[in-house]
């Protein structure tokens, strides 16, 4: 399925001879979300390439040695901007939801499922 | 244990991904199944087939299997794989009459250096709650029907301990090489939601 994507066009995409490589699950999840949004018709792949390219050329390189982590932080920032520009979400909504997840973790005892409702119990 | 009950949040980018993913799914902008399919495509790209190599080694090398069941973290490290956050691994063995299934009630707890990417269903609330309350029903839905007299043990991963199921070696695989055996081992069989079919 994803073989049809022109991943060769991505500057600096961490990859081996079989495709993209990831060093942590969130990187692959960010990748998969982008592909899924594209396949659902929310944007053209060329639009995405513009966003990720712009992020790489203008973004501040994070202070890390892990190339995959650096690349996918830029990827995630580009995806957040594209999602906001397309009206699918907004920076305040994303920020609010991120805080809700963080609080949900902080209010969840070890061994219990992390659910968003726990954020309300603080 | 000291009163240290709360769960450390994941890293900032991991939280941002969770935020984005949960919003897009809730709004119906992406479909969980479609997302799962993409993730499945890349499941082997994080920790590529590491767990399968561990299982195959245990099947062909009785001494290794003993070490694996005694101290999985060390035995897995022998093959060059290790947990990233320093978590310990425990391997639980399926036997005739005993089936193990792993659940992760905290969605960040998945042994991805050995198992690759967590599938979306594994992180979803229905699996996390029902794997504990109704494991037989969950296994049925995965197409794994066990005889009534087979005991099912559910292992709940946590921040310090991650579990891996050592599936039963299928019949008819006596002449196979370790690599051929590893190729048969599925992700789901190491979570316990699948069994490995004997070769035709």
Tell whether A6 is covered by a domain: no
Are the CB atoms for B72 and B91 separated by under 8 Å?
yes
More reliable by pLDDT, B147 or B84? B147
Tally of CB atoms within 10 A around B35: 23
Instruction: Taking the CA atoms of B63, B67, B70 and B76 in sequence, report the sign of the dihedral they define.
Output: negative
Q: Across the interface, do B13 and A94 touch by the CB < 8 Å criterion? A: no
State whether A35 and A94 are in the same domain. no
State whether A28 and A78 are in the same domain. yes
State whether A112 and A67 are in the same domain. no
State whether A107 and A84 are in the same domain. no
Two tokens, residue B101: 């299934």
Q: Across the interface, do B9 and A106 touch by the CB < 8 Å criterion? A: yes
Q: Does B11 participate in catalysis according to the annotation?
A: no
* pLDDT score for B152: 96
Per the rule left: phi > 0, alpha: psi between -120 and 50, beta: everything else, B156 is beta
Q: How far apart are CA A119 and CA A61, in angstroms?
A: 32
What pairing do the DSSP bridges indicate for beta strands A19-20 and A15-16?
antiparallel
* pLDDT score for B167: 96
Q: How far apart are CA B54 and CA B77, in angstroms?
A: 10
Spell out the residues 6+ positions from residue B36 whose beta carbon is closer than 8 angstroms to its own.
B119, B120, B121
* pLDDT score for A59: 63
Q: Does B20 touch chain A (CB under 8 A)?
A: yes
Tell whether A34 is covered by a domain: yes
Q: How far apart are CA B59 and CA B115, in angstroms?
A: 18
Site from A113, A115, A117, A122 to mutate, B interface, most B CB atoms within 10 angstroms? A113
Q: Does B107 participate in catalysis according to the annotation?
A: yes
* pLDDT score for A2: 41
Tell whether A4 is covered by a domain: no
Tell whether A5 is covered by a domain: no
More reliable by pLDDT, A116 or B44? A116
State whether A28 and A83 are in the same domain. yes
Per-residue confidence at B141, pLDDT binned at 50, 70, 90?
A: very high
State whether A25 and A82 are in the same domain. yes
Q: Report in angstroms the alpha-carbon separations of B191 from A82, A115, B18, B79, B98.
A: 35, 22, 22, 20, 14
ipTM given for this complex: 0.85
Give how many domains chain A has, as a whole number: 2
Taken in order of first residue, the domains within chain B and their CATH numbers are 30-191 (3.90.330.10)
Calculate how close chain A gets to B33, using CA atoms only, in Å. Answer: 10
State whether A94 and A116 are in the same domain. yes
Which stretch of A34-38, B9-13, B59-63, B138-142 has the lowest confidence by average pLDDT? B9-13
Instruction: Taking the CA atoms of B151, B157, B158 and B159 in sequence, report the sign of the dihedral they define.
Output: positive
Calculate how close chain A gets to B192, using CA atoms only, in Å. Answer: 19
* pLDDT score for B108: 53
Q: Across the interface, do B10 and A26 touch by the CB < 8 Å criterion? A: yes
Calculate how close chain B gets to A93, using CA atoms only, in Å. Answer: 9
Compute the average pLDDT of residues B187-196.
92
State whether A83 and A95 are in the same domain. no
Model's pTM, two decimal places? 0.64
Tell whether A8 is covered by a domain: no
Tell whether A12 is covered by a domain: no
Size of interface A-B (CB pairs under 8 A): 149
More reliable by pLDDT, B5 or A51? A51
For residue B3, pLDDT beyond 50: no
Q: Across the interface, do A115 and B125 touch by the CB < 8 Å criterion? A: yes
Instruction: Report residues of chain A scoring pLDDT below 70.
Output: 1-12, 15-20, 59-66, 110-113, 117-122
Per the structure, the complete domain to which residue A113 belongs is given by: 90-122
Q: Across the interface, do B38 and A106 touch by the CB < 8 Å criterion? A: no
Q: Does B5 touch chain A (CB under 8 A)?
A: yes
Q: Does B158 touch chain A (CB under 8 A)?
A: yes
For residue B29, pLDDT beyond 80: yes
Calculate how close chain A gets to B152, using CA atoms only, in Å. Answer: 20
Tell whether A113 is covered by a domain: yes
For B32-42, how does the pLDDT look when each residue is reduced to its tens digit (9 = 90+)?
888 888 777 66
Compute the average pLDDT of residues B100-111.
76
Q: Across the interface, do B30 and A107 touch by the CB < 8 Å criterion? A: no
State whether A100 and A48 are in the same domain. no
For B151-174, how does the pLDDT look when each residue is reduced to its tens digit (9 = 90+)?
999 998 876 788 999 999 999 999
Q: How far apart are CA A114 and CA B24, in angstroms?
A: 19
Tell whether A71 is covered by a domain: yes
State whether A85 and A103 are in the same domain. no
Of B8, B17, B39, nearest to A105 by CB-CB distance is B8
State whether A68 and A43 are in the same domain. yes
State whether A62 and A118 are in the same domain. no
């Amino acid at each position: 399925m994803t073989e049809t994507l022109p991943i060769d066009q991505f500057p600096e995409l961490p990859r081996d001879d079989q495709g993209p490589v990831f060093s942590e699950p969130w990187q692959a999840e960010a990748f998969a979300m982008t592909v899924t949004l594209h396949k659902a018709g929310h944007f053209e792949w060329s639009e995405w390439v513009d966003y990720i390219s712009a992020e790489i050329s203008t973004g501040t390189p994070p202070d890390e040695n892990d190339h995959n982590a650096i690349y996918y932080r830029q990827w995630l920032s580009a995806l957040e901007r594209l999602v906001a520009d397309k009206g699918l979400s907004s920076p305040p909504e994303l920020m609010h939801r991120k805080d809700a997840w963080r609080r949900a973790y902080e209010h969840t005892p070890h061994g219990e499922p992390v659910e968003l409702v726990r954020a309300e119990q603080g | 244990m000291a009163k240290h009950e709360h769960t450390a949040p994941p890293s900032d980018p991991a939280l941002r991904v969770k935020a984005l993913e949960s919003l897009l799914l809730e709004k119906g902008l992406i479909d969980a199944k479609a997302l799962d399919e993409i993730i499945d495509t890349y499941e082997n790209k994080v920790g590529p087939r590491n767990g399968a190599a561990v299982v195959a080694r245990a099947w062909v090398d009785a001494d290794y299997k003993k070490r694996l069941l005694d101290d999985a973290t060390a035995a897995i490290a022998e093959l060059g794989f290790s947990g990233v956050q320093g978590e310990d691994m425990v391997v639980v063995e399926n036997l005739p009459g005993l089936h193990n299934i792993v659940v992760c009630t905290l969605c960040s707890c998945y042994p991805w250096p050995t198992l690759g990417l967590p599938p979306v269903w594994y992180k979803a609330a229905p699996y996390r709650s029902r794997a504990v309350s109704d494991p037989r029903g969950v296994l049925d839905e995965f197409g794994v029907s066990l005889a009534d007299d087979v005991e099912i043990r559910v292992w709940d991963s946590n921040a310090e301990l991650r579990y891996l199921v050592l599936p039963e070696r299928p019949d008819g695989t006596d002449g196979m090489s370790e690599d051929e055996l590893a190729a048969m081992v599925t992700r789901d069989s190491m979570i316990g939601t699948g069994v490995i079919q004997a070769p035709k």
